[in-house]
């Protein structure tokens, strides 16, 4: 046995010595049909030559006789891909009722061919892919949707009970995790939230300036900036930013913990992922988002004030005194009051999507994206809902 191995090694030696990118380029692989009906295979039947060979085989007109013998004595190299192509051809001809055999293959190549042939014969001829009909697909779709809403509901219920428990027994709450979360999701968000709401204030003032100047109503820029910033822009912009920054991070963190079995470890240690992971994040965001909104209010109005003084000649004292009489406290309260609701939505959606991750790493990316899209969607839906309810109440 070792003798044969030695021989096969020395045969392949010739290939090795050749430079890398000219592997087996010496002859072209081919299948030749002689006029007397003999079939001869030649050249290297290897993967590099296989695409050409496959097209060639499709075009071949096989000799019109009952049994075909392929003379393979001039095949210089054969790998498993070449063997599969040959076996496919054999199977096709056999299905047409013409038995075909291969003859004269060099012994070392024949050994490989036989191995592949045994494997090939074990493979069942391919079954046509079962087509799902539309009813089956519809049923599957409905079922998965129902199951999803079921798990979402149970997650909501679970977090609600955990919340209740942490209210009655505050000791179960992880204060350290909460403080860390406050820092990464609140404090670290200050620069970006500040910059964006400042720019929003600038944009709103600019957009209003043109129209207000036409009517000589320059001073009303204060109402425009103040009310829109306080009631809508600051809470929304902050919530959307935080959804992108923290909601996605929650999903990715918890998802990665699931993939690395950390969640299972937490459970087997007799701890609750709800208390350990979800509640601190929800609480931190519920505290941080209103504070960030207040900050965004201030910076946004500052941006508007700057533009008012430069383009509408409403100077700072004028702006501030008008601000005091025009902007009622309720605008501020309504804006900041929406923030905790948005925060809860973002944190819960992020954590929920994290828990939904099954198995693979690509699932982490997918659910992270879903968490951002869903939380921004829900934030805007709830914002619209607030607007409708508040207009009913006439505030």
- Contact (CB, 8 A) for 365 and 308: no
Residue 294 beta carbon to another protein: minimum distance, rounded to whole angstroms: 43
How many CB atoms within 10 Å of residue 28?
13
Structure letter (DSSP) for residue 360: S
Minimum CB separation of residue 90 from another protein in Å reads: 12
CB atoms closer than 10 angstroms to residue 361: 10
Query: Cβ 204 to another protein, closest distance in Å?
Result: 43
Nearer to another protein, 36 or 362 (CB): 362
**Residue with smaller CB distance to another protein, 23 or 98:** 23
The residue (of 88 and 188) whose beta carbon lies closer to another protein is: 88
CB of 16 to another protein, least distance (A): 6
CA distance 12 to 291: 73
Residue pointed to by tokens 């109402």: 223
Q: What are the angstrom distances between the C-alpha of 373 and each of 61, 83, 343?
A: 58, 50, 15
Q: Looking at beta carbons only, is 6 or 157 nearer to another protein?
A: 6
> Contact residues for another protein (CB under 8 A)?
2, 5-6, 8-10, 12-13, 15-17, 19-21, 23, 46-47, 50-51, 54, 79-81, 84-85, 88, 108, 111-112, 115-116, 119-120, 122-124, 126, 358-363
Q: With CA atoms as reference, report the closest residue to 351 among 155, 151, 153.
A: 155
Q: Name the minimum Å distance from CB 45 to another protein.
A: 11
**What sections of 186-276 are H helices per DSSP?**
190-214, 221-228, 234-242, 248-259, 262-268, 273
CA–CA distance, 342 with 247 (Å, rounded to integer)? 11
Cα–Cα dist 307/207, whole Å: 10
Of 72 and 116, nearer to another protein (C-beta) is: 116
Task: Indicate the DSSP class of residue 106.
Answer: -
Q: Pick the closer one to another protein by CB: 54 or 136.
A: 54
Instruction: With beta carbons less than 8 A apart as the criterion, state whether 351 and 251 touch.
Output: yes
Q: Least distance in Å: CB of 354 to another protein?
A: 16
Q: Residue 233 and residue 201: Cα distance in Å, rounded?
A: 9
φ/ψ (deg, to 5) at 349: -65, -45
24 versus 335: smaller Cβ distance to another protein: 24
Rounded to a whole number of angstroms, the minimum distance from the CB of residue 280 to another protein is: 29
Per DSSP, the three-state class of 388 is: helix
* Least spacing, CB of residue 4 vs another protein, in Å: 9
Q: Closest CB to another protein among 85 and 162?
A: 85
């Amino acid at each position: 046995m070792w003798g044969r191995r030695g021989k096969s090694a020395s045969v392949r030696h010739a290939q090795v010595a050749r430079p890398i990118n000219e592997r087996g380029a010496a002859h072209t692989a081919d299948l030749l049909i002689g006029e007397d009906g003999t079939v001869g295979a030649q050249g290297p039947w290897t993967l590099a030559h296989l695409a050409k060979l496959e097209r060639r085989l499709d075009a071949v007109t096989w000799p019109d006789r009952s049994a075909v013998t392929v003379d393979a004595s001039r095949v210089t190299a054969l790998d498993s891909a070449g063997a599969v192509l040959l076996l496919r051809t054999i199977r096709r001809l056999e299905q047409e009722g013409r038995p075909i055999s291969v003859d004269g293959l060099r012994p070392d190549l024949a050994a490989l061919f036989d191995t592949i042939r045994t494997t090939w014969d074990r493979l069942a001829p391919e079954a046509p892919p079962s087509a799902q009909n539309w009813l089956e697909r519809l049923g599957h779709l409905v079922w998965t949707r129902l199951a999803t809403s079921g798990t979402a509901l149970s997650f909501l219920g679970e977090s609600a009970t955990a919340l209740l428990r942490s209210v009655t027994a505050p000791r179960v709450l992880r204060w350290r995790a909460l403080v860390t979360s406050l820092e990464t999701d609140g404090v670290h968000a200050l620069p970006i939230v500040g910059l964006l709401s400042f720019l929003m204030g600038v944009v709103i003032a600019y957009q209003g300036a043109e129209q207000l100047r036409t009517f000589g109503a320059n001073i009303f820029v204060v109402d425009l900036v103040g009310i829109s910033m306080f009631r809508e822009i600051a809470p929304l912009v902050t919530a959307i930013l935080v959804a992108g920054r923290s909601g996605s991070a929650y999903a990715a963190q918890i998802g990665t913990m699931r993939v690395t079995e950390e969640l299972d470890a937490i459970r087997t240690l007799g701890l609750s992922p709800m208390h350990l992971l979800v509640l601190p994040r929800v609480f931190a965001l519920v505290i941080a988002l209103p504070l960030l909104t207040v900050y965004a209010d201030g910076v946004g109005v500052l941006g508007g004030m700057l533009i008012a003084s430069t383009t509408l000649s409403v100077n700072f004292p004028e702006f501030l005194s008008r601000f005091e009489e025009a902007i009622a406290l309720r605008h501020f309260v309504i804006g900041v009051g929406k923030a905790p609701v948005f925060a809860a939505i973002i944190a819960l959606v992020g954590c929920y999507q994290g828990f939904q991750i099954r198995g693979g790493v690509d699932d982490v990316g997918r659910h992270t994206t879903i968490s951002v899209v869903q939380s921004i969607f829900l934030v805007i839906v709830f914002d619209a809902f607030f607007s409708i309810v508040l207009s009913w109440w006439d505030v």
